């Protein structure tokens, strides 16, 4: 039995010799598992949470698309009922500069 057969890379790579059970060391596998998890965690790119402005832009896009769909289907009353309060909230969260920059104005109230 050579020592090279049972290096720490065996559990990580998933390559096991025929007589592996004879040399199975729980601590070795645990150490390699922890090392593998540490390596994965170091290289893992966590997604960034979008900013409030990004969320508002997305909501405004959905709002605009639903507005034009409601106009096309002649269902404006149901659109107004759904979006009236949300429109006010969305517009209140933005500065006047952002509203002008992204051409965000009230489609329901005319403000």
Give the model confidence (pLDDT) of 77-90 as tens digits.
887 887 777 777 77
Question: What pLDDT, on the 0 to 100 scale, is given for residue 18?
Answer: 58
pLDDT of residue 9: 58
Instruction: Please give the model's pTM, rounded to 2 decimal places.
Output: 0.47
Quick one: tokens of 65?
């698309």
CA distance 91 to 110: 12
- Going by C-alpha positions, the residue among 78, 94, 87, 39 that lies closest to residue 59 is 87
What is the spatial distance between Cα 7 and Cα 11, in angstroms, rounded to a whole number?
9
Number of Cβ atoms within 10 Å of the Cβ of 87: 22
Distance CA 83, CA 24 (A): 64
Which tens digits make up the pLDDT trace of 7-35? 555 555 655 555 555 555 555 566 666 77
Residue keyed to tokens 């329901």 = 108
Q: How confident is the model at residue 6 (pLDDT cuts 50, 70, 90)?
A: low
Residue in the structure block whose two tokens are 């500065």: 95
Name the percent of the chain lying above pLDDT 90: 0
Give the whole-number percent of the chain exceeding pLDDT 70.
62
The residue ranking higher by pLDDT, 25 or 54, is 54
């Amino acid at each position: 039995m050579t020592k090279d057969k049972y290096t720490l890379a065996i559990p990580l790579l998933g390559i096991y010799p025929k007589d592996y059970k004879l040399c199975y060391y729980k601590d070795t596998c645990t150490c390699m598992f922890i090392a593998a998890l540490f390596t994965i965690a170091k290289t893992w790119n966590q997604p960034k949470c979008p900013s409030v402005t990004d969320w508002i832009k997305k909501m405004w896009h959905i709002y605009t698309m639903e507005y034009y769909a409601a106009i096309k289907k002649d269902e404006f009353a149901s659109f107004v009922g759904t979006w009236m309060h949300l429109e006010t909230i969305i517009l209140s969260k933005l500065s006047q500069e952002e509203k002008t920059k992204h051409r965000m104005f009230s489609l329901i109230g005319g403000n």
